[in-house]
Amino acid sequence: MFGNYPVNDDWIFVRQIEAFNQGIFSLNAELDPSFISQGFLGLLWGKVFGISFINLQILTFLITLLATLVFIYMLKEMNLKKSIIVLCAVLFFFNPIIFISAFTFMTENYYLLFFSGSVYFYLKYLQNKNKSFYMVVGSILVLISILIRQVGILIGLSLIIILLFDFYRNKKLNKTDMFSIAIVSCFIIIGLLTTIFWPRFSENRILILPEQFSVRFQYLLLSVHYFPLFVLPLLAGLKVKIFKNKLIAAISVLVFIFLLWFLYNFDFYPIGNVFYLEELYTKSDFRSAFSLFDNIFFKSLFAVLTAFCVTKLLIFILMKIRNYTKIIKTDPINLFILILGLSNFLILLFSSDFYDRYLIPAFICFFLLFIKNYSGEIKVNKFVVFCLIIVVFIVVTLQWEFSSKNRLMWDQARALSEKTGLESQIYLNDTYTNYIITQKENDFTGLIERKSFEKKCFIQDYSVDSNSKVLEYILNLEDYIDGNILEKKKPYLVNKKEGLPRVKKHIDNLIYNQEYFSLLFNTVGRRIFVASWCDETD
């Protein structure tokens, strides 16, 4: 699933590694995160194995494995059953955003490793405040986190709040707490000062514009349901008797119907920048094509499954409240995780950008909080395993599809460039255009104007139907359902780029035309190709 091509915006980070390698340590103007720690880690790796997209992707994958290992150690600290630990570890590694990011050089999983490591050592410290070693190690990891992403300060601040809360509750600040606050504050200040004074070619806006706030608030509300979706198999195993009495049953049915409507209507992941059921990164130029996941039948079944599991969670919480049971105990560890999770979620109201991948730190906190307090309420049964298999299959299939297609596209782009002598006039996607222009101009500043060039050659994927009578019947049935019973929803707020020629109108003029294996399309009787052609009007 690795490939020697950029994914999303990671070309900026790879270019920064190349700049470091040439002794240029000022950060690119397009870099929003601190990146410093990740940059030097990537540089060290590149010195040994070479600086390339695929080599840095391998590093990211190893970092993701380490983050998963740290997460397992956190779970072991909670004295959970082995079956629960295995289930949670699989959900962590195959979380859609985490798994997909493992095959890029984006900052997500690098930050995740040091975020998880610092949380682990802080949890160890809160269990035994006499072990200041854990606090110091955790604070060092906080410093490294800040030097990847500025929001790393929230980890240290959350611990300081807990220590101050102890002071408020006990009316006494002991020497251990004072020492800890001083050490944590020191590392936070060092991290912030390093970030602020590290040379940059230009400063970026940090906070959201006031006129964007209402839209951002809407996005945050739409993202709340991501958290139960990411732990779907756990919810499937909740010991909840939905039909225990008529009132609970009636509420359950109403909640289920609303969730079913919401999930299907908003296509599950409404704010997705990365993850959609139809295809990864599909917001940039979505075009509907019947596939294993992009059809009314699968989406309806998946909506029923997810609505049922989320209904179980909401009824579970309702019954806790109804029985006057505390949702969570107010011990220091729970409060630390809760404050850290909420702060990582709410800060997205004010940050300059917001993508679904930014939800991961908050998700990890709420995941830990849920499993720490309710692991005894979960039974790992066949339904749980079934849900886990579905989740893993979806995530792996989409990543496989993305890698297979993009590997061919970039190979064709290089071959087309060699054949025609063109570079910036080849159109693959915006990532290709941005990367090629900065590379051609040998720019490390991020300040050059990436003016648009006349597009002369194009690389696109396309699918064709087989002669299967079964496929023909299914397509006709879906068209009938879409037109008369249930509308097929497309991803929420996606756009379709206008003005681009489409490959199916240039089949006779193709320079390259390669078929590839696709679980997404081949399993429903369709064939998928990547093709290239050039405009012959000149």
Q: What is the pLDDT of residues 36-87, one digit of tens each?
A: 999 999 999 999 999 999 999 999 999 999 999 999 999 999 999 999 999 9
First-to-last alpha carbon distance for the chain, in angstroms, is 38
Domain spans in the chain, listed from the N-terminal domain onward: 10-204, 207-380, 402-534
Q: What would the pLDDT profile of 457-467 be if each residue is shown by its tens digit? A: 999 999 999 88
d(CA 496, CA 390): 29
Q: What pLDDT shows up at residue 489?
A: 86
pTM over 0.85: yes
Rounded distance between C-alpha atoms, residue 449 and residue 490, angstroms: 34
Q: What is the full DSSP assignment across 323-362? A: TT--SS---HHHHHHHHHHHHHHHGGGTBS---GGGGHHH
Q: Determine the number of helices (DSSP H) and then strands (DSSP E) in the chain.
A: 20, 4
Question: 528: which strand partners?
Answer: 463
Q: What are the φ/ψ torsions at residue 464 (nearest 5 degrees)?
A: -130, 150
In the predicted model, residues of the chain with pLDDT beneath 50 are 538
Antiparallel, parallel or unpaired: β 526-534 and 426-427 = unpaired
> What burial letters (b/e) apply to 124-143, b meaning 16+ CB within 10 Å?
bbbeebeeeebbbbbbbbbb
pLDDT digits (tens, 9 = 90+) for 128-172: 888 899 999 999 999 999 999 999 999 999 999 999 988 877 777
Q: What are the tens digits of pLDDT across the range 382-422?
A: 999 999 999 999 999 999 999 999 999 999 999 999 999 99
pLDDT of residue 26: 97
Residue 341's pLDDT is what? 98
